[in-house]
Amino acid sequence: MGPSAEGLRAQGDKVRSCELRAETFGSHYAEQMADVGPAVERLAGLMTHGGARCDDYRDKLRMTSDAITGTDARTASGLGGNPSRQR
């Protein structure tokens, strides 16, 4: 299991074991989601060969990442997180 998955699991354990308070959960959630965009960009950066097909896949990967992190930025904001860290 990677560090991001371990962090999400630890946060899930924390949420299940204590009262959910926006001021503590939201900021941790925003920090974890802030790692998604750069990780996708690193993966997309590896896709340099394959012509138009590769470019199309890379663009779709970036659009998916933007959709996920955009939704999560709004969620984190609602929980008291810092959505400015999303990008």
Output the pTM of the full model.
0.40
Token pair of 47 as six digits: 């896709």
pLDDT band at 87 (very low <50, low <70, confident <90, very high): very low
Per-residue pLDDT of 24-83, as tens digits, reads 666 666 677 677 778 777 877 777 666 677 788 888 888 887 777 676 666 656 655 454
pLDDT of residue 37: 75
pLDDT of residue 86: 41
Q: How far apart are the C-alpha atoms of 52 and 77, rounded to whole Å?
A: 37
Domain ranges of the chain: 3-82
Q: Which residue has the higher pLDDT, 19 or 54?
A: 54
pLDDT of residue 59: 83
Q: How far apart are the C-alpha atoms of 47 and 45, rounded to whole Å?
A: 5
